[in-house]
Amino acid sequence: MKKNEKIEVVQGSGNVFRDFGDPNADTEQLKCILAARIIDILDKQKLSVRKAEGVTGVKASEFSLIRNVKLGRFTADRLISILNKFDQQVDVKVKVRPRSRKTAREEAALRSLRGQVAT
C-alpha cells in the first residue's frame, strides 16, 4: 500500500457471516455466540474437555470441536442443550425484519474484501 493511498472503510452489519454473504448468516452467528458462552464456561471453571465430559455427559470430542469453533455438525438447539447441562438458562431475543438491500458501493466493497481474503 502506498503512503498516501486512501483506504475505503465500510461499516459491517455486526454479523461477519452476513457481511461475507453466507446464506445462513443468522444461524451461524447464533451458533458462534452460543459456542463462545460454552468456551467461556470451560475457561472460567478451568475444565478440560475430558472434565467437561464428566460434568455434562457430552463427549470430549464435541467439546474439542466447540473449542476449535468447528460448529458444522452442531445445531443451535444442541448448543443450547449443552449450556443447559452447565445449569445455564438461555434466553433468545428474536427480531424479524426484511433484509436490507445493499447499495452497489457496499456490494463492490464486499466483493473486493472477499477477493483479498481468498488470496
**Does residue 102 carry a pLDDT above 80?**
no
Question: Going by C-beta distance under 8 Å and a sequence separation of 6 or more, which residues neighbour residue 114?
Answer: 20, 21
Q: How many Cβ atoms from other residues are within 10 Å of residue 45's Cβ?
A: 11
- HSE at residue 96, side-chain half, CA atoms within 13 A, is 0
pLDDT in tens, 44-74: 999 999 999 999 999 999 999 999 999 999 9
Q: Which tops the pLDDT comparison, 112 or 118?
A: 112
Mean pLDDT in residue range 84-102: 87
pLDDT at 19 over 90: no
Look up the pTM and report it: 0.76
The ranges assigned to domains in the chain are 16-93+100-118
